[in-house]
Chain A
């Protein structure tokens, strides 16, 4: 997995282009994972609350 994008300029030198867009789905996944974990956590918290 690449974190950064590079290209070559007119003189053949490597130039930094920006973030790698392959990372997009990792960021989406991170958001989704947080939401999923929070949903599970809240379900457990509410179950515990129900037993109290």
Chain B
């Protein structure tokens, strides 16, 4: 559930705002975004020939990414409605219409998230889980102030598989990030980007892009306390 804020916007317009993302969700999103960009840069720049001491930056950022994802998972399960991310089989008839962003062509009306937004979330979740698990295992191969390295923790064959999985999922993050930024700056999607900064979309944007019967608004309480 999300709320329609009872206050009018600061710009003096009469349009009401629909809260889409709480401050916690937005901060968490931008922390994940910053850590993913730092992880991609710290891993691929040295491969492309830009040499620097990347290992410490990479694993520390990796831990920040892991903590952000754990927080997101717990927060989503406790304070958000996980069903907003659920994909029904019937929705896959709408892949093309969803890509085109045409509400009138959809056979299954969209709730808070459109089909392709949910697909993106689930695909990036899969790659995220892979890089986190393999990344934590790979920390056994480096020394730090907190632990000593143990490269024999796994056999050479298993280490090879761990490195392949980590590398493959990391490579997949590159086009996924490119697509995410592309959609974030497309003119017709800019209001979603604004909602990830300011937290709200307008009532018009809500009605023209979402089915109010599926994404049901709660007219009253505080957005920060509501299940999104």
Selected contact of B175 from candidates A15, A21, A27, A38, CB within 8 Å: A27
- Establish whether residues A41 and B100, one from each chain, have CB atoms under 8 Å apart when the complex forms: yes
In the complex, A2 has a CB within 8 A of chain B: no
Nearest residue (CB) in A for B161 is A16
- Establish whether residues B163 and A28, one from each chain, have CB atoms under 8 Å apart when the complex forms: no
- Establish whether residues A18 and B164, one from each chain, have CB atoms under 8 Å apart when the complex forms: yes
A residues in contact with B27, CB < 8 Å? none
Answer whether A21 and B47 are a contact pair too, CB < 8 Å, given A16-B157, A28-B178, A35-B182.
yes
In the complex, A40 has a CB within 8 A of chain B: no
The count of residues in chain A whose C-beta lies closer than 8 Å to any C-beta of chain B is 21
- Contact flags (1/0) for B165-176 with A, using CB distance below 8 Å? 011100110111
- Establish whether residues B174 and A31, one from each chain, have CB atoms under 8 Å apart when the complex forms: yes
- Please classify the interface of chain B as helix (H, G, I), strand (E, B), loop, or mixed, using the class held by over half of its residues: helix
- Please classify the interface of chain A as helix (H, G, I), strand (E, B), loop, or mixed, using the class held by over half of its residues: helix
- Establish whether residues B171 and A24, one from each chain, have CB atoms under 8 Å apart when the complex forms: yes
Chain A: minimal CB distance from B94 (Å): 14
Selected contact of B164 from candidates A16, A24, A35, A42, CB within 8 Å: A16
In the complex, B82 has a CB within 8 A of chain A: no
A residues in contact with B102, CB < 8 Å? 45
Answer whether A28 and B174 are a contact pair too, CB < 8 Å, given A18-B160, A19-B167.
yes
Selected contact of B99 from candidates A9, A19, A23, A38, CB within 8 Å: A38
Answer whether A4 and B164 are a contact pair too, CB < 8 Å, given A31-B179, A45-B100, A45-B102.
yes
Q: List 9 A-B contacts (CB under 8 A).
A: A18-B167, A21-B167, A24-B171, A27-B171, A27-B175, A28-B175, A31-B178, A34-B175, A41-B100
